[in-house]
Each structure stands twice: as structure tokens, then as C-alpha cells.
């Protein structure tokens, strides 16, 4: 069967990585969470005094430090999923906090940050057989991807899903704060100048507001089978 590239984009917290991971596991493809890469750079910026007390970014400082940032992925033996490492340190458990979520979109809007990460993402897709999720995968990273999905769901439903997830992970947060963060990131991600979040013209749209994880998995599997058998 021919190997393809699958690009999954969409709004924050709508289930992109859940779908992407499920499919990759099922068909034996590599899964890449590009949001984790932007989150890791954000964690690096937070640890290295790139933000001032008001949350403004010292771009000159970040630009100077960025060549020292090395992102790699390490397979978790239990979950069999790749986890992001920042200069060799597995930072998976630090990058999903609300604090990182509150700083990530302005960092991801910086062209010099995107340039570095997009280059690494494109190199990972050279051999195909990859499922990548993010905001600009079908539009910028892999404009020729054989299968492009654009996922969406209402902001309230997305915030509820994230709320439940943080609670389960033992990182409880305020629902209104999560909702505000989801809406704020959607705004920044869709309005930034470089590679804004938008649906690729040839993407299939999935509103999964009222789909279960099992239903969305089956939907994606069907699309995958169609594309690989064409």
C-alpha cells in the first residue's frame, strides 16, 4: 500500500492529536505533534527570561538563544507515543500546563520561530508514512499532503474537553480561564501574519462537537482507506 502524508489542522483542543495518534497507531505511521514543539520553545522562553512581567517577548534575546534549542522526540515505552525533549530533557509533563498555553500563541506567531520548526517538520515527513497535527500543516508544512483534515468544535465543548483532561492529569484549572485561553489562542492563531490557522482549500472538514472518540476514529480511518486505495 502506498505511504501518504496526513495533515490534521484545526482549532485548539478539538481532538486533533487524539485522532492523529489513533490513526498513526492503527496504520503504523509516525505521529508528530507540532503543538508540542511550539510549547517546548515556549517553555524554553519562560525558563530563560524571554518574557517580562507583562508577558511581552524580548525577541532579540529569543532570536539569539534559539540556535541552542534542540527539539527531539523520545518514544514513551508505556504509551508507545513520542514525547518532546528540549535539549535532551523530556519536557512532556511541563508543556501542557495552562501557563504554557497562555504564553504559546505569541511565541508561535514569531516568523523566526516558525521558520526553524517548519524546517524540522518538513524533514520529518521526507519518507512519508506520517500523521502530523497542528495549525499550518496542510497549508504550509505539507501543502501536497495526500490527506488533509480540518477539525473544529464549539469553543465551549473544546474548553470542557480540556478542563476534563487537566483534571484527570491532576492539574485542575478554572473552566472560565480555560475557555478564555481557548478563545484567545484561536484569535491569535487565526489572525497572525505568518502562516495563520486556516482551512486548506482541499481539506476535509470535521466538526466533531457531537462525535465520540470512537466515531471520529472510524471517520478518519475511512478517509485514510479511501486515499490509500485510490
Ligand X SMILES: Nc1ncnc2c1ncn2[C@@H]1O[C@H](COP(=O)(O)OP(=O)(O)O)[C@@H](O)[C@H]1O
Ligand Y SMILES: Nc1ccn([C@@H]2O[C@H](COP(=O)(O)OP(=O)(O)O)[C@@H](O)[C@H]2O)c(=O)n1
Which residues contribute to the annotated binding site for ATP?
10-18
Residue 213 contacts which entry, ligand Y, ligand X, none (Cβ below 5-8 A, type-dependent): ligand X
Distance CA 69, CA 25 (A): 29
Distance CA 173, CA 128 (A): 38
Ranges within 27-56 binding ligand Y (CB under 6 A): 34-35, 38-39
Q: Does 108 participate in binding ligand Y (rule CB under 6 A)? A: yes
Residue 139 contacts which entry, ligand Y, ligand X, none (Cβ below 5-8 A, type-dependent): none
Least Cβ distance, residue 65 to ligand Y (angstroms)? 19
Say whether 52 sits in a helix, a strand or coil.
coil
Interface residue with ligand Y, options 21, 161, 185, 217 (CB under 6 A): 185
In the DSSP assignment, the letter for residue 203 is P
- Among residues 16, 19, 26, the alpha carbon closest in space to that of 225 is found at 26
Half-sphere exposure of residue 114, counting CA atoms within 13 Å on the CB side? 19
Q: Does 17 participate in binding ligand X (rule CB under 6 A)? A: yes
- Among residues 86, 53, 52, 92, the alpha carbon closest in space to that of 72 is found at 86
Interface residue with ligand X, options 6, 7, 12, 203 (CB under 6 A): 12
- 197 within 8 A of 11, measured Cβ to Cβ: yes
**Residue (17 or 195) nearer to ligand X, CB:** 17
Residue 148 contacts which entry, ligand Y, ligand X, none (Cβ below 5-8 A, type-dependent): none
Ranges within 169-198 binding ligand X (CB under 6 A): none
Least Cβ distance, residue 225 to ligand Y (angstroms)? 26
Element (H, E) at 82: strand 82-86
Q: Does 64 participate in binding ligand X (rule CB under 6 A)? A: no
Q: Does 101 participate in binding ligand X (rule CB under 6 A)? A: no
Distance CA 46, CA 39 (A): 10
Q: Does 165 participate in binding ligand X (rule CB under 6 A)? A: yes
Indicate the annotated binding residues.
10-18
**Residue (21 or 39) nearer to ligand Y, CB:** 39
Least Cβ distance, residue 96 to ligand Y (angstroms)? 8
CB burial string 76-87: b at 16+ within 10 A, e below: eeeeebbbbbbe
Alpha helix positions (H), 83-230: 92-95, 98-108, 111-124, 155-168, 175-191, 213-229
Instruction: Select from 53-61, 129-137, 147-155, 207-215 the region that touches ligand Y (CB under 6 A).
Output: 129-137
Which residues sit at the interface with ligand Y, rule CB under 6 A?
12-13, 34-35, 38-39, 104-105, 108, 134-137, 185, 189
Amino acid at each position: 500500500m502506498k505511504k501518504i502524508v496526513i495533515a490534521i489542522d484545526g482549532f485548539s483542543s478539538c481532538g486533533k492529536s487524539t485522532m492523529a495518534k489513533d490513526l498513526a497507531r492503527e496504520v503504523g505511521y509516525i505521529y508528530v505533534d507540532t503543538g508540542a514543539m511550539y510549547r517546548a520553545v515556549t517553555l524554553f522562553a519562560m525558563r530563560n527570561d524571554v518574557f517580562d512581567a507583562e508577558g511581552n517577548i524580548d525577541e532579540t534575546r529569543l532570536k539569539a538563544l534559539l540556535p541552542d534549542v534542540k527539539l527531539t522526540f523520545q518514544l514513551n515505552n508505556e504509551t508507545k507515543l513520542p514525547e518532546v525533549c528540549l535539549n535532551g530533557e523530556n519536557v512532556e509533563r511541563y508543556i501542557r500546563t495552562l501557563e504554557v498555553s497562555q504564553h504559546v500563541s505569541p511565541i508561535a506567531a514569531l516568523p523566526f520561530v516558525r521558520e526553524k520548526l517548519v524546517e524540522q517538520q518538513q524533514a520529518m515527513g521526507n519518507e512519508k508514512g506520517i500523521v502530523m497535527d497542528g495549525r499550518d500543516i496542510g497549508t504550509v508544512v505539507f501543502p501536497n499532503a495526500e490527506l488533509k483534515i480540518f477539525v473544529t468544535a464549539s469553543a465551549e465543548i473544546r474548553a470542557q474537553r480540556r478542563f476534563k483532561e487537566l483534571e484527570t492529569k491532576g492539574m485542575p484549572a478554572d473552566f472560565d480561564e480555560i475557555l478564555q485561553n481557548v478563545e484567545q489562542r484561536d484569535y491569535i492563531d487565526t489572525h497572525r501574519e505568518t502562516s495563520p490557522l486556516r482551512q486548506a482549500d482541499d481539506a476535509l472538514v470535521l466538526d466533531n462537537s457531537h462525535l465520540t472518540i470512537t466515531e471520529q476514529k472510524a471517520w478518519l480511518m475511512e478517509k485514510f482507506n479511501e486515499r490509500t486505495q485510490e
